[in-house]
Structure 1
């Protein structure tokens, strides 16, 4: 339940007094954002975000490919043995010279795209400020740290900006900014711990892909949850050690959460949509099951995290990539059908993130770590049937190639995140506060929602 204005005012005063922070130490932007949060009205509608993280760095330059003209010739010359043949032509609202073709393994997405409920974002990646090739070579502008590094770039995508001393993810921050983080069911991960869902006052609830979570306290011993909880409660009532108190309290709360979630999921309706047995479909099936009980949880905003690995295609790309793209497309199509069953198409937006794009050049059997790439987002609220951003030139040694076919992003990932956060319910001021580098770019460049 959202805070009242009085609660928000007290929370702000408490922050200033207990944290030792003075009003003078806060930026005017932060003060405006706090004021906006304190005066915001109660949220009456329901919305959810589903983040699909493609671990390893997806070669999304082969997800969307040119289909004709000199653009196609450049693509074929640069990609060599990795060229995608017979792509599916996408009739995007915006015309792009050379056309836009979708990898044929992703054919399951074509009807969703044509229905206007799927869009792409082209040429996006981690940036601090607009960067040219000369800027990059001369180090004339600040650059993201540790480019082409899996761990660092994953962190930047999930934190929503360069990490530095930041330890919270942008998914958690938008949830907290809307005061929608109090319930453990508002922040659910089907893929374990991740930075995107960690906030100052919230951490993800890890849900098993099968939905129901079991308590296995000891190997070979599976007691009733109520019995485990009674033991913990007795420990909590007898200990005088503050560390033991904190641990027992946390454990007791976790067990209660499992009990409550299981009780709700047991009431979930059976969907007609059949999900495949691939890992991503199984995770999205569990998300759909959780969404089906959103009325019972009372949440007005929820975030979900799922993932698919295997995109670090240094080798065997011709075999591995079609299978990965097919898995992604199949899972998204099934999830789209489930949302239609639940009448939640307008309320749920699903989007992808990945470490980075990959090199235009082939290493003989695959690709290496790159920079700019393409992402997709799905939902009835999405401005679909469109490629937002740009169709990257796939010409080697072009004005955006820093070497080896690593392409400079033409749009920052914060430009991609900002419309998503705004659709979720944040004001322009709050969005700018959460994504500080957005001030260096055109914040309205990507019109991702209707």
Structure 2
């Protein structure tokens, strides 16, 4: 207790507030509008979304490659020293000129694909309206801001729209529309704070890769959780202003949440599925552990966020990309096995997002920031064993190349998100409200679910 005797309640709270507390000021009319827009339909089933963000801009055009004919020739001419020489054949239900090959480093997911539990989405990217090369050159249509900027494009993918005065993520907005945001266990991140899970009335609960959290309230002072909470309760019991009182309540609630989550996770079943020791596998192992206690949390809807970095392959791509794609494929295969073991394969959908695709042309040792990309989606409810969207022609100076092998998306990322939101339980009106540019596109052109 001696450490606490040197700090007043006010000083302690001041220290906490300087650590990053934030307050979003909303008018009563805004709050009323948000409340009235919530979906009050009683949800009878359980569903969860797992977002895997590939930080840095994945060269996913080298993940799916043509196999034969002119398409293969264009690919080899454009990719030069980066061309994949021995891709695995994907027997997609939809046929594409030149066929579809998978990067050989991703062999771990081939059986999941063949079983119909994994699909790809081709030629997708940030768009405001359908855009041709002439539109782009003549500035005839509005374009996403800062197209080839990491931070801006990450935000656009996670917000589900261009930046506005009040930014929220489309994952959080879905929870709030479904009125599923009140439980802290509905919104869990294994990769820290992120825009996708940030809402008006919900923020992600941070869980570490080991699953169980520990409370280290102050440096060098690490007693048992119950002892810490009793100290905190006394310390935070009387405040002198509303901001301190609000923060005290939030901090006390956070400690209680940690205790509750730890209790549940300690009772989680031990899975026979073995996860690798790479970062993504460890994150997904923690997600699987959390999903195993979904009955106890009482949530009808949950969202999870995990990430894998290193995809900004300006150099050493020949060695770096195979390792990254192998990690992704291995982690997905293991996670699918765990979901099957938990009998949750039909209730959980896992999907990828990334900053952008990359250039077709090599800079000599890697690729630079591009635009259109390919994404993955996995789950028992998914229309798997197929490539949805399109197999982009990987030809430099084609009618979709804005320069340097940066390809114009043929489907917007909001078209990718819309069927995911539909499966999650939102109605058409809510989906169009969450994704404001959808009216410019065929909303359900991508038939991602059964």
Instruction: Indicate the TM-score class for this superposition, using the shorter chain for normalisation.
Output: over 0.9
Tell me the distance in 2 between the aligned counterparts of 1:42 and 1:379. Answer: 24
**Partner of residue 167, structure 2:** 167
For 1:123 and 1:387, the matched residues in 2 are separated by 10
Task: Give the Å deviation of 1:217.
Answer: 1.5
Unaligned runs of 5+ in 2: 1-25
- 1:234, distance to aligned residue in structure 2 (A): 1.2
Q: Distance in 2 between matches of 1:254 and 1:43?
A: 27
| Map of 2:17 onto structure 1 | none
Structure 1 partner of 2:431: 431
Q: 1:309 to 1:22 in 2, by over 3 A?
A: closer
The match for 2:12 is none
Q: Distance in 1 between matches of 2:208 and 2:428?
A: 36
Measure the CA separation in 2 of the matches of 1:418 and 1:369: 26
Q: Give yes or no for the alignment of 1:398 onto 2:407.
A: no
2:66 corresponding residue in structure 1: 66
Corresponding position of 1:93: 93
Separation in 1, partners of 2:288, 2:174 = 22
Tell me what 2:120 maps to. Answer: 120
> What pairs with 1:359-378 in structure 2 (closer than 5 Å)?
359-378=359-378
Q: Determine the C-alpha separation between the residues in 2 that align with 1:256 and 1:436.
A: 38
TM-score, structure 1 length as denominator?
0.92
Residue 28 (structure 2) pairs with residue 19 (structure 1): yes
TM-score by length of 2: 0.92
Is the Cα contact below 8 Å between 2:279 and 2:308 reproduced in 1? yes
Residue 5 of structure 1: aligned partner: none
1:307 and 1:382 map into 2 onto residues whose CA distance is 21
| Separation in structure 2 between the aligned mates of residue 277 and residue 255 of structure 1, nearest angstrom | 29
CA distance in 2, matches of 1:174, 1:358: 30
Shift of residue 227, structure 1, vs aligned partner:
1.4
Q: Aligned partners of 2:166, 2:138: CA distance in 1, in Å?
A: 28
Aligned equivalents of 2:329, 2:237: Cα separation in 1:
51
| CA displacement 1:9-56 (0-9 Å, x = unmatched) | xxxxxxxx9624699xx8xxx9xx957x45x43101000000000000
- In structure 1, the partner of 2:18 is none
The answer for the alignment partner of 2:352 in structure 1 is: 352
Task: Note if 1:313 corresponds to 2:313.
Answer: yes
Question: Greater CA deviation, 238-247 or 122-131?
Answer: 238-247
Alpha-carbon contact 1:119-1:382 (below 8 Å) kept: yes
Quote the offset at 1:376 in angstroms.
0.5
Alignment partners' CA distance in 1, 2:356 and 2:148: 7
Equivalents in 2 of 1:434, 1:44: separation in Å? 23
Aligned to 2:211: 211
Query: After TM superposition, which residue ranges in structure 1, 4 or more long, deviate above 3 angstroms?
Result: 20-23
Structure 1, unmatched stretches of 5+, are: 1-16
Does the residue aligned with 1:408 lie in a helix, a strand or coil? coil
Q: Is the 8 A contact 2:154 2:354 kept in 1?
A: yes
May I ask how many residue pairs the two structures share in their alignment? Answer: 425
Residue in 1 that maps onto 2:45: 45
Pairing of 1:154-193 with structure 2 (within 5 A):
154-193=154-193
1:291 is matched with 291
Deviation readout 1:188-244 (Å, 9 max, x if unpaired): 000000000000000000001100100112222211111111122112322223222
Contact 1:159 1:166 in 2 (8 A): no
CA RMSD of aligned residues (A): 1.6
CA distance in 2, matches of 1:18, 1:354: 34
> 1:315 deviation in Å?
0.2
Partner of 2:253: 253
CA–CA distance in structure 2, aligned partners of residues 133 and 164 of structure 1: 27
Indicate the SS of the match to 1:238. coil
Contact 1:123 / 1:374 at 8 angstroms: preserved in 2? yes
Contact 1:61 1:374 survives alignment (8 Å) = yes
The equivalent residue for 1:233 is 233
What does residue range 250-289 of structure 1 map to in structure 2 within 5 Å? Answer: 250-289=250-289
Q: d(CA) in 1 for partners of 2:373 and 2:163? A: 21
Partners of 2:206 and 2:125 in 1: CA distance: 28
State the partner residue of 1:224. Answer: 224
Aligned residue for 2:119, secondary structure, equals strand
